[in-house]
Chains A and B, each alone.
Chain A
């Protein structure tokens, strides 16, 4: 994305240079004065950006360098909180757990979204339009409500699972047990987000120039070859965007496990994900300094992870 900006900036620089020469000297000064309007347009956002992004980040970092105890009061302890965090089994386990979620959940969502979008792209019937809308609907449902709905569906008391499984003569699995909660959460997140990703991918597919398919067809390409050798490479920049968002979202995993915790207490503990751990440190134990260190570490890891991912995929995304 960064170099994309630079390209755009370079392009606009070229444009303004081309515009500039015909003007008399006074006009150029006028143009320069006009450009200051840019700051006025950007200023309101810049203020919010400074107060609610830069300031909290700086504050969290500052807080994380201190330690506050009842006995000694608040004292500067440097990186001690970070040393503690990266040797704290609760934080490390949470980090590994969200990584495991990323490895399973992102491909699951992406596969559903991609296949659905590719199928939709070849059809233009009423059924396909309606299914497109129905697949997207979960995105319009708040995550908390989605998780609540699934917690009801998983529940042995309310859910349809018992009925469905007894039809084929089986006992329903307990979706909320410790060894099945992972899959249950993957299912909730896939259900919630796959439709949104599908719409993004579908929109990208629709923007491909159809004459390319015509050419491919004349060259004898079948549907599978068209999909894998033409469509996929041409939508790779949307795929990179979708994966980046999914990655950032998954590593901050919070809402779904918190909601499910009240029905699956044994399976989800208070430090299930790093965000849940930071939350309980801050609001149950008032350890704001250590919680800041955890939050800042998580933020830095997510930022580094998505930057590395964008760097590795710079060819596919066309961002070079």
Chain B
């Protein structure tokens, strides 16, 4: 009982500290603001939230319907059917085309995490190097990295495809993972963050204590970079998970597709019309399952990225 009370008492403080957003408590009580406007603001927000969440609601509902229920359901497109087919649909995902859906799902994980984690590690190292060492050529190279943020990555897909095909990497996981390691914006974020978050005095003290450069980095700097690391990791994972153009160009083997491409392929086949290929219920259920991991990561890592996304834009 007492522990519950104390948790509740400290919770708001934790939240404020964790988001990294300063608490403006006095301003938040809306003094001098009329009740009508407060209600107006809330109504506005709720309408916006409904707009943004409706497609997701539709997907949740659709994932519980059978193939025919999607067209002729009793509840309409935005409400559940009498028949609850969610588990049948999941079973369908295991049997349709030999359960290739789960293969796609695993591929997505592999590409997103190998590519995302790799890009993040490179960004941490480079960002720290740029922020804390004054090596020769630092200024010009960083300027080039910054400029490259404005190079549209899709313009690189066709030449990357040609290079990878010369290396014999087309239709291998490497064709997606290796190009995903490139994240200049992550380097920029990490540098801006490391500049302030890791005080030079602290590094100096570690060196005086006899720590080498690598140890200073791993034990002193790395823990201080945590919010930026989570943010860059999320951004890179989302970037790789989202990438459509690159895998579309470099993968043709159905076994290697990420889940997004696989579902798009099923949709194209279903639209093309052949009766046996119409698997709308599997597409909706498959889409629903495929978005769960990222939504959950964002929910659980909220306190890191909400502050982190502002890095580099706040002066």
- B179 interface residue (CB < 8 Å to A): yes
Interface contact B290-A142, CB-CB below 8 Å = yes
Interface contact B263-A44, CB-CB below 8 Å = no
Interface contact B126-A42, CB-CB below 8 Å = yes
The distance in angstroms between the C-alpha atoms of A2 and B144, with both chains bound, is 9
Cβ distance A255 to chain B, nearest Cβ, rounded Å: 4
- B225 interface residue (CB < 8 Å to A): no
Interface contact A44-B126, CB-CB below 8 Å = yes
The distance in angstroms between the C-alpha atoms of A39 and B129, with both chains bound, is 7
Taking CB atoms, residues of chain B closer than 8 Å to A238 are 310, 313-314
Cβ distance A86 to chain B, nearest Cβ, rounded Å: 16
- B36 interface residue (CB < 8 Å to A): no
Residues of B within 8 A of A (CB-CB), count:
115
Interface contact B42-A128, CB-CB below 8 Å = yes
Q: Mark A202-214, 1 if CB is under 8 A from B, else 0.
A: 0110110010011
Interface contact B22-A207, CB-CB below 8 Å = yes
The distance in angstroms between the C-alpha atoms of A306 and B147, with both chains bound, is 10
Taking CB atoms, residues of chain B closer than 8 Å to A159 are 77
- B134 interface residue (CB < 8 Å to A): yes
Taking CB atoms, residues of chain A closer than 8 Å to B125 are 41-42, 44-45
Interface residues on A, range: 35 or more
Taking CB atoms, residues of chain B closer than 8 Å to A207 are 21-22, 310, 314
The stretch of A66-74, A100-108, A132-140, A177-185 that contacts the partner chain: A132-140
Taking CB atoms, residues of chain B closer than 8 Å to A123 are 30, 38, 41-42, 45
Interface contact A150-B158, CB-CB below 8 Å = no
Interface residues of B (CB under 8 A from A): 21-22, 24, 26-28, 30, 32-33, 37-38, 41-42, 44-46, 48-49, 51-53, 55-56, 58-59, 62, 70-71, 76-78, 121-123, 125-126, 128-130, 132-139, 141-143, 145-163, 178-179, 181-182, 184, 187-188, 195, 200, 213, 217, 238, 241-242, 244-245, 248-249, 260-261, 263-264, 267-268, 271-272, 280, 283-284, 287, 290-291, 294-295, 297-299, 302, 306-307, 309-310, 312-315
6 A–B contacts from the bound complex (CB under 8 Å):
A35-B134, A53-B148, A59-B162, A139-B238, A252-B155, A307-B150
Additional A-B contact list (13), CB under 8 Å, known A6-B143, A158-B62 = A2-B147, A9-B138, A9-B142, A53-B148, A136-B298, A139-B298, A145-B291, A146-B55, A152-B62, A206-B310, A282-B158, A306-B150, A307-B150
Interface residues of A (CB under 8 A from B): 1-2, 5-6, 8-9, 12-13, 15-16, 34-42, 44-46, 48-49, 51-53, 55-57, 59-60, 63, 112, 115-116, 119-120, 122-125, 127-128, 130-131, 133-146, 148-153, 157-160, 163, 191, 194-196, 199-200, 203-204, 206-207, 210, 213-214, 217, 223, 237-238, 241-242, 244, 248, 251-252, 254-255, 258-259, 262-263, 275, 278-279, 282-283, 288, 291-292, 295-296, 298-299, 302-303, 306-307, 318
